[in-house]
């Protein structure tokens, strides 16, 4: 059995038990390395967002969130993969699973703020840099976006 056969992906809207595991992963992967505390994890629009979580043996090992801004577009954010699983294809699986769901829901454009060191990852998935780099959480970022084609059939 490969690593990924043991990992299941599920969507959540708001579920306190699941969100606790997701917040812990977001803290460990996205905030703690920058010196931020757990109080810096939540975004004001988390409760209105779609959460896609990857689980392995009951633990959250990957996540990506989507905040709908209109019926047609929104922001992908808080993309994180557990360090031991990075570069094994889980990030790609999370983003493509999210995009498939969004296409079906009628979403046609996804944008995001990519940390400069992660822009290559989003580039591999078809996201393009828009405009000039900017600073966020003390590090350089690029605005990136992708147009989603309507599902076939």
Ligand X SMILES: CC(C)(COP(=O)(O)OP(=O)(O)OC[C@H]1O[C@@H](n2cnc3c(N)ncnc32)[C@H](O)[C@@H]1OP(=O)(O)O)[C@@H](O)C(=O)NCCC(=O)NCCS
Residues that bind ligand X in the complex, under the rule CB under 6 A: 29-30, 79-81, 86-92, 114-115, 117-118, 120-121, 124
Nearer to ligand X, 89 or 151 (CB): 89
DSSP symbol at 10: E
Bridge partners of 68, per DSSP, are 74
Give the nearest distance from C-beta 86 to ligand X in angstroms.
4
Nearer to ligand X, 73 or 118 (CB): 118
Distance CA 43, CA 89 (A): 26
Contact in structure between 109 and 122 (CB atoms under 8 Å): no
Which residues, including other chains, have CB under 8 Å from residue 92's CB and lie 6 or more apart?
124, 125
Beta strands in the chain (DSSP E): 7-12, 50-56, 59-68, 73-81, 109-115, 128-136, 139-147
Nearer to ligand X, 88 or 97 (CB): 88
Give the nearest distance from C-beta 126 to ligand X in angstroms.
10
Nearer to ligand X, 16 or 24 (CB): 24
Contact in structure between 115 and 100 (CB atoms under 8 Å): no
Nearer to ligand X, 53 or 150 (CB): 53
Give the nearest distance from C-beta 81 to ligand X in angstroms.
4
By Cβ distance, which residue is nearest to ligand X? 91
Give the nearest distance from C-beta 113 to ligand X in angstroms.
7
| Residue 78, both tokens | 């808080």
Give the nearest distance from C-beta 109 to ligand X in angstroms.
18
């Amino acid at each position: 059995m490969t690593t990924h056969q043991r990992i299941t992906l599920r969507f959540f809207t708001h579920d306190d038990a699941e969100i606790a595991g997701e917040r812990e992963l977001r803290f460990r992967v996205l905030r703690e390395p920058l010196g931020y505390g757990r109080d810096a994890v939540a975004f004001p629009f988390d409760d209105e967002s779609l959460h896609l979580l990857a689980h392995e043996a009951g633990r959250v090992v990957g996540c990506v969130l989507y905040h709908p801004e209109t019926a047609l577009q929104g922001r992908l954010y808080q993309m994180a993969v557990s360090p031991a699983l990075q570069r094994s294809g889980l990030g790609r699986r999370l983003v493509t699973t999210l995009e498939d769901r969004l296409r079906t829901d009628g979403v046609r454009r996804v944008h995001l703020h990519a940390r400069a060191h992660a822009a290559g990852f989003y580039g591999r998935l078809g996201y393009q840099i828009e405009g000039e780099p900017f600073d966020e959480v003390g590090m350089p970022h690029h605005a990136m976006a992708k147009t989603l084609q309507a599902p076939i059939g």
